[in-house]
Structure formats: C-alpha cells, structure tokens
Structure 1
Amino acid sequence: MANSVRVAVAQMTSINDLAANFATCSRLVQEAASAGAKLLCFPENFSYVGAKDGDSLKIAETLDGPIMQGYRSLARESNIWLSLGGFQEKGSDDAHLCNTHVVIDDTGNIRSTFRKIHLFDVDVPGGMVYKESSFTEAGKDIVTIDSPVGRLGVTVCYDLRFPELYQQLRFEHQAQVLLVPAAFTKITGQAHWEILLRARAIETQCYVIAAAQAGKHNDKRESYGDSLIIDPWGTIVGRLPDRLATGIAVADIDFSMIDSVRAKMPISKVNFIKMFSASDILRT
C-alpha cells in the first residue's frame, strides 16, 4: 500500500427523481476519477429523496436491482471505489426498508453493506418531527472493510451521535478511516455537524469522510450540507468552498500520519473498551 492515497467526498441535493440523481452522481464520479481519487463517498439518500411520506418505500429495491446495478457499473467503468450511503434497500415486508450503506469496489462488486443502526426518531427543536423507525428496519451489525484507502469503518448519519459505535470500529475492528454519509437537518447541522465529526476523528485517531446532502430537496425538507474530510488530529483537510453547492472535495489519506498520531498519543493502551469486558461494565 502506498504511503498516501487520494479520496473524494461528494455533496449533492437529491430529489425524487432516480434518473436525475444518477446523472448527478455520474458527473461527480467522473470528476473524482479525473482528480485521481481511489474512493468517492456519496451522502445518505444519494439515489433518492422522496417528496412525501411513503415515496421511499415505493422505490426501495434489493441490492441486485437495477438502481444498484447502475451504480456498480459506474464504479467499474470509472475504476473507482464508491461509498453509497443510505440506499433504500427493500426490507422484510412492504411497509419497511433498510437504510443501507453499500461499498462497491473498482470492479463493480459489492464489498460490504451496513444497515443503519441508530434510527432518526427526533422532534427537532424549532423544526420537524421525524420517525425513521416507522418505515425503516434498524441494523445490528458493525461493519469494517479493507480497501485501497485503508480499513473503512462504515456508518450512516444519526449513528454519528453514538460515540461507542466509533470506539468499537477503531479499538475492536482496527478502522483507519470512518465513513459518515449523512442528510443532517439544517438546524442540527448548524449546531453539531462539524463538532461531532471532529470529535469522532480526534477520539478514534481516524480519518473521517463525511458526505452530506445540501439544500432544499422539496418544500418540506432541507439539508445542512458541508461535506468534510478530517484527519486523525481533527483538522479539516477537505471541504467544498460552498456549503450548499453540488460538487466534490479531495484530500489524501496519509497512513504515516495515522501511525504518528497513534504513536505519540497511545490512547489504545488505556482505552476503556479494552480495559473492561462487557460483563465487568454491567456489574458496576
């Protein structure tokens, strides 16, 4: 593995039009490949954002359906890995879907799938009420995958607020790069987006790639934007100049920096998860 490798993070405003979103993603893939990126990360709901309740259930598909086949072809034709956060995967019945983060390699093969664990059931202060669990099945499995840009820890959006997941990705599953595709609301994004992402990078000593939905999807829904790439010291190393623009930002994953930060501040030696077993924690 080279000492450093280029990655890209995408930002877009998905709508209730599968073809239009695919056209946007295709253009961004071409930009990332031309910039020399080995991995491009897309935001949650990259392929579709419904205009009204129930729309996402209507278009939900299995992972071998035509929607994902199109994105697999994109990866293969452009010779690039794709992180596809928040795909509407058909659930166990017609009333539910899975919010699934799919990682595809540069030959178009699906290398991992992560189903969002923490569902967004929130009454946003000054905003809307969300009940993701009413139509989404929660995942249970923690997922990491080896890639040309390091060992990836795979998550989705609201998972970001639960640091224990990221602790496990780093200290139990040896992640080097954390993927956080998201569609944060405008209100929560203004308050917490950058802070939470930098905290996850600092406390795990991992790179964080956070692809964001941006702007108004329809009359009811608006996302914060601000796609970021953050290094293990918590420094932002990739960011679009316009928080709401459609486009990509690039940065290099420097494996020597990961090693240096972890060697100079060896928190893994005293990490709480490693110090105590689950049974010890439950007894206290």
Structure 2
Amino acid sequence: MPNCLYLLSPPNSILCRPIRFSHPPLRSHFSGTVAAVSDSVMASNSVRVAAAQMTSINDLDSNFATCARLAKEAASTGAKLLCFPENFSYYGDGDGLRVAEALDGPVMQGYCTLARESSIWLSLGGFQEKGPDDKHIYNTHVVVDDAGNIRSTYRKIHMFDVDVPGGSSYKESSFTEAGNRVVAVDSPVGRLGLTVCYDLRFPDLHQQLRFQHGAQVLLQPAAFTAVTGHAHWEVLLRARAIETQCYVIAAAQTGKHNDKRESYGEALIVDPWGTIVGQLPDRLSTGISVADIDFSLIESVRAKMPISKHRKPIDYWKSASL
C-alpha cells in the first residue's frame, strides 16, 4: 500500500486520520504516528498538498458546504493547496448551461472567499463558466490563491465525445466550447500544469506542460466514468507522472450523482517516479488525501534519468509510408 495521510469524511461519521506506510523506490514521505506527522516541522524542500474525493449533485449550496468542510480539513493538516474535482460546484444531468456563470459571478466568488478564509490555495476544475454564446459553456479549471485571487484559468481542450464500451454515450462538444491554450502557473507548491479530466488521455498536452512550460506538478481534476475509471484511471495517471517526471494530483468525483451519472472515484497523488503517495482507503468515500511535494525528489528523478536532454524533435526521425 502507498504511504499517505488521508482524511476520511463519510456522511455522519467521525473524522478519521489513519496513516499507511510503504517503501517507495526513492524516498518515504511519512513516518511515525499521526500526532508526530501533524506536529512535525516539514523539511524546507517539501510542501503539503491535498486531493479531494467527493460526490457532487445538482445543488450548489450542498456542494459548497462539502467543499468548505474539506477545505477546513486540508488547512488543518498544513496543506498549502487543495484540489477539487471536475464539476465540484455542480453536477447535474445535462443542465450545465442553466447554472453557468462568469468567473466574477457569485458562485466562483464564493469559492474565492473560501480560499481566503481557509488560507489555502484552491484548484477548482472544471467550473461551468459562461461560454461564448447561449448554447455553450467553457469547462474551466480555475486556480485561486490563499488571498482569494484568481491566479490562472484553463479551458478544457479535449472534449469527451465518446461511446463508452458497455456504458453510455457522451458528447461534451454539443454544449461545451473547447479551449485553445496550454496553461501553467507558479504557486507555493511548485509550477502547476492545468488539465481537466479527458485531457488525461493526451500525453502531448502533458509533455508541453513539462518541457515547454516548466511544470513540476500536474493537476488532473476529473469525473471519470465507472467503466473507463476501472480500466484506465490509475495506469494513465502513473504514466503521465513517469513520462513527465512530475507529481500528479488527481482529484476525483465518485459515486452516483443522479439516476444517469456515476463516477469512478479514487483520488490519487502520484510522485515523479510513478509511486502512489496519496490515496483514500476506498474510492467511494468523501474525504481528502494528503501528501508532500518533495522538490528534491523531482530534482533527483530528473537528474538520474535526464529525459529532457534526451528528447528529440518529432521531425528528427525520417518517416516512411508503407
């Protein structure tokens, strides 16, 4: 099992803070008892982050209450950044247009206030941002600092237009306008590369974030379907971490949102060696997983396997048609 501190908050239960241990290839992130972890002074070369796992519904107030509780829990662990999943503020049944707002509207401003009052950075993705016309929204990943200021926004590039084998059909492009910018932003937990959900399947985006935009931490908020999550979620996250030598923080929607929509769950934090260092005890509970971004580990992995020096431009190789 991966070593991690997790906070589990199922409805009507007492907050639990167990720790699990293992020996990853390069460095262990936690040791000792829970009290020792909570009271210890973090090394100057590391910083704590958290990934949320939750079940959003078609109720803005209820979802905000859950997010506020998780933000308080994350701040109590010393986390400097809390990542929420796609559709964190609202998860309906094809009615995203109805609730879409501008980023200076009351919903997003409420989360900016939450970040300021909790003294924690928030990764909010994706948000139903009002689109270019009355028939489209943007699926937007918003990063808010601990003073409540929006530091960066990324509009999801890859649309989920898929017939899931054994599942349902989806056509996100029918109501969502695709973005066209690759976005990275500096933060107290390193340089962040922003993505949303289906973007996970496109390694070239993550390669750009690492090698052209200098990302150290990739943020992957998602609402993966139960079918695709079971088959591909973990392996894709670990692959993106390994091939970019970045931490990956993957906040996840989980469980049934309504009669038609169900998400896989399993919020994870993966280190640059591909080791899972943050994970809740199960993939269906509401709670946060906490781990430490160790900058010396990033440097060590990149120095020992310098793929940034070994990469060749795509036109380096001659191609042939067979």
TM-score normalised by the chain length of structure 1: 0.96
After TM superposition, give the deviation of residue 242 of structure 1 in Å. Answer: 1.4
- In 1, Cα distance between equivalents of 2:314 and 2:132: 36
- Match of residue 205 from structure 1: 245
Counterpart residue type for residue 137 of structure 2:
L
For residues 22-77 of structure 1, what are the alpha-carbon distances to aligned partners after superposition, in whole Å with 9 as ceiling and x for unaligned?
00000000000001000000000000011x33x11000000000000100000000
Q: What is aligned with 2:16?
A: none
CA offsets 1:156-200 (integer angstroms, 9 cap, x no match)? 000000000001110111100000000000000000000000000
- Judging by fraction of residues, say which structure has more helix: 1
* Equivalent of 1:5 in 47, 54, 69: 47
Q: 1:57 matched to which residue of 2?
A: 97
Q: 4+ runs of 1 displaced by more than 3 Å?
A: 280-284
| 1:30 paired to 2:56 | no
The answer to whether the aligner puts 1:164 opposite 2:197 as a matched pair is no
Question: Residue 181 of structure 2 aligns with which residue?
Answer: 141
Distance 1:62 1:220, change over 3 A: same
- Map of 2:90 onto structure 1: 48
Q: Structure 2 counterpart of 1:253, which letter?
A: I
Please state if 1:253 is matched with 2:293.
yes
Aligned equivalents of 1:233 and 1:187: distance in 2? 27
TM-superposed deviation, 1:2:
3.3
CA distance in structure 2 between the partners assigned to 1:37 and 1:59 by the alignment:
30
> Residues of 2 paired with 1:138 and 1:219: CA distance?
27
Equivalent residues in 2 for 1:105-120 (5 A)? Answer: 105-120=145-160
Residues 126 and 173 from structure 1, CA distance in 2 versus in 1: closer, same or farther, beyond 3 angstroms?
A: same
The equivalent of 1:187 in structure 2 is 227
Partner of 1:67: 107
Name the structure 1 match of 2:118: 78
Q: Residues 282, 81 of structure 1: CA spacing in aligned structure 2 closer, same or farther, 3 A cutoff?
A: farther
Residues 18/282 of structure 1: CA separation in 2 closer, same or farther (3 Å cut): farther
Q: Which amino acid aligns with 2:64?
A: F
Give the deviation of 1:283 after TM superposition: 8.4
- Unaligned runs of at least 5 residues, structure 2: 1-42
CA distance 1:282–1:160, shift in 2 (3 Å): farther
Once the two structures are TM-superposed, the CA of residue 149 in structure 1 deviates from its matched residue by 0.2
CA distance in 1, matches of 2:260, 2:287: 23
* Cα distance in 1 between the residues matched to 2:318 and 2:110: 46
Change (3 A) 1:70 1:282: farther
SS at match of 2:284: coil
Distance 1:213 1:224 in 2: 7
Q: Equivalent residue of 1:103, what SS?
A: strand
Unaligned runs of 5+ in 1: none
**CA-CA distance at 1:282 after TM superposition:** 10
* Partner residue in 1 for 2:8: none
Q: Deviations over 1:231-260 (max 9, x none)?
A: 000000000111010000100000000000
The secondary structure found in structure 1 opposite 2:128 is strand
SS in 2 for 1:187: helix
**Does 2:263 align with 1:237?**
no
Identity %, equivalent residues: 77
Write the distance in 2 (CA, Å) between the matches of 1:129 and 1:166. 26
Q: CA deviation at 1:270?
A: 1.3
Q: 1:215 aligns with which of 255, 261, 272?
A: 255
- Residue identity in the other structure for 2:69: R
The size of the alignment, in residue pairs, is: 278
Alpha-carbon distance between aligned partners in 2 of 1:260 and 1:126, rounded to the nearest angstrom = 43
